Amino acid sequence: ILDTKYTKNFISDEEIKNIGLEVEKAHSLLIDKNSQGKGSVGWIDIPRESDDRLMGEIESIAKSVITNSDAIVIIGIGGSYLGARAAIETLVPGLVGKKIFFAGYNICGDHIKGLLDALKNKEIVVNVISKSGTTTEPALAFRIMENFMKKKYSPKKLKDRIICTTDRSKGAMRRIADANGYRSFVIPDDVGGRFSVLTAVGLFPMACAGIDIREVIRGAKEQFFDSAECNVENNACYRYAAIRNLLYRKGKKIEIFASFDNRMHYIDEWWKQLFGESEGKNGRGIFPASCDFSTDLHSMGQLIQEGERNIFETFLIVDKEDENCLIPYDNEDMDELNYLAGKQVDYVNLKAYEAVSLAHFEGGVPNMTMHLAERTPFCLGQLFYFFEKAAAISGYVSGVNPFDQPGVEAYKQKMFKLLGKYGS
């Protein structure tokens, strides 16, 4: 559920109604198979047309992986890993760094070396996720990891321990998989990286973390129907797209996406790519920033409350709190916290959220809240689909093609030249 009450003073009902026409156009562009985005909208129907054979294959391979390994290394960057990481950190906190390791998302020797040290005496399985196989970060990490594993395992055993998620037929990673007999999952041609969390890209790592991926898809499917109707009033996903465009036009150039739970930090990161890459082009685009509250209230809070009024916020709140940490009573009460004794820590956190959303609203920062009912695979499936569709609609409303990313090559070409890559 999206709560938009704290945008009320900033946007009139009439403005929402008027932008409804633009949202309708965006909706048409999205479903029109002849628009500029055609060939990139395969993600729309994934939840409805859930592929039972694929789900079974993911579950069965994940099961064998979990059994045969002490450590599962997921190699990917950007859209190839942020969705999976968001789901795993949120739903199975504490697993990353113990059984699940992420690699290939930076070019940091210390990180790779530290990982190899940690894996020395472990049984390893690697899932490398790369459409092309030549993106520098994951390609480097995979080369080093494969080299490491070749010393540990015979070629025959390696076949059970490396799983590639890549293009159906093209690219270096496809050739590597085929030449070595590694098992593979397919990244559909019509699904871009930042929209791929509900494909094998996101689902296989989730399954390896023990997450019920059918529940994720079931949640996405519910959201599919909840956000199907082209109506800004009833369709919260479209309303979110509409409101953020209205706020942007009124000079709110920065959107802070903030959860109140450190475990959900990577949802912020996933969201940042989804919206930043979809909208940031042609000299325009809302700047997506993230905060972890309440932590960041003690760094960014002052500026949000009283700085330049070019900010709006979207909060991510889980309505059903954990009940895992009671505040004890203290005879002395020198810290004056006895008024909270017997309450859950997360209860205080929820009140902090309520206070922040009101205080920021009163300070001139419009804000919305995305309420998740529970911290479950089902609700996360809803969330993923909600924001994917919102990003597509929002991008079209803002006048760009939400499915391309022409600017990401600029630095790479310069880097290849500096590195002396042949032909660059």
Window 398-417: residues binding a second copy (CB under 8 A):
405-408, 410-415, 417
Per CB under 8 A, which region of 5-13, 51-59, 219-227, 309-317 contacts a second copy?
A: 309-317
R_g of the chain, CA atoms, integer Å: 23
**What is the C-alpha separation between 193 and 78, in angstroms, rounded?**
7
What part of residues 4-63 is at the interface with a second copy (CB under 8 A)? none
Catalytic option among 25, 113, 412, 421 = 412
In the chain, % helix, strand, coil (3-state, to 5) comes to: 50, 15, 35
Q: Provide, rounded to whole angstroms, the least separation between the CB of residue 253 and a second copy.
A: 6
Q: Closer to a second copy at the Cβ: 49 or 178?
A: 178
Is 412 labeled as catalytic in the residue annotation? yes
Q: Is 95 an interacting residue with respect to a second copy (CB under 8 A)? A: no
Residue 162: C-alpha distances to residues 125, 165, 177, 178, 180 (Å): 6, 10, 9, 12, 10
Q: Provide, rounded to whole angstroms, the least separation between the CB of residue 29 and a second copy.
A: 20
Cβ contacts of residue 151 below 8 Å, gap of 6+? Answer: none
Closest CA to 315 of 277, 344, 358, 280: 358
Burial class (CB in 10 A: 0-12, 13-18, 19+), 301: middle
CA atoms within 13 A on the CB side of 307: 11
Is 298 labeled as catalytic in the residue annotation? yes
Q: Which of 75, 304, 318, 380 binds a second copy (CB under 8 A)?
A: 304
Q: Is 313 an interacting residue with respect to a second copy (CB under 8 A)? A: no
**What is the C-alpha separation between 173 and 134, in angstroms, rounded?**
8
Q: Which of 16, 144, 198, 316 binds a second copy (CB under 8 A)?
A: 144
By DSSP bridging, strand 124-129 and strand 71-75 are parallel
Q: Which of 300, 316, 379, 390 binds a second copy (CB under 8 A)?
A: 300
Q: Is 422 an interacting residue with respect to a second copy (CB under 8 A)? A: yes
Q: Closer to a second copy at the Cβ: 39 or 328?
A: 328
**What is the C-alpha separation between 386 and 226, in angstroms, rounded?**
9
Range list of H helices, 69-182:
82-91, 109-119, 136-150, 155-158, 172-180
Q: Are 329 and 341 in contact (CB under 8 A)?
A: yes
What part of residues 97-136 is at the interface with a second copy (CB under 8 A)? 97, 105-114, 133-134, 136
**What is the C-alpha separation between 177 and 189, in angstroms, rounded?**
18
Q: Which of 78, 205, 366, 395 binds a second copy (CB under 8 A)?
A: 78
Q: Is 295 an interacting residue with respect to a second copy (CB under 8 A)? A: yes
Q: Closer to a second copy at the Cβ: 87 or 217?
A: 87
Binding mask 355-394 for a second copy (x = CB under 8 A): xx-xxx-xx-------------------------------
Helix, strand or coil for residue 168?
coil
Q: Closer to a second copy at the Cβ: 26 or 82?
A: 82
Q: Is 161 an interacting residue with respect to a second copy (CB under 8 A)? A: no
Per CB under 8 A, which region of 65-73, 238-246, 256-264, 385-393 contacts a second copy?
A: 256-264
**What is the C-alpha separation between 344 and 336, in angstroms, rounded?**
16
**What is the C-alpha separation between 152 and 414, in angstroms, rounded?**
37
Is 24 labeled as catalytic in the residue annotation? no
Q: Which of 222, 250, 289, 401 binds a second copy (CB under 8 A)?
A: 289
Q: Provide, rounded to whole angstroms, the least separation between the CB of residue 60 and a second copy.
A: 28
Catalytic option among 146, 277, 313, 388 = 277
Catalytic residue positions, numbered: 277, 298, 412
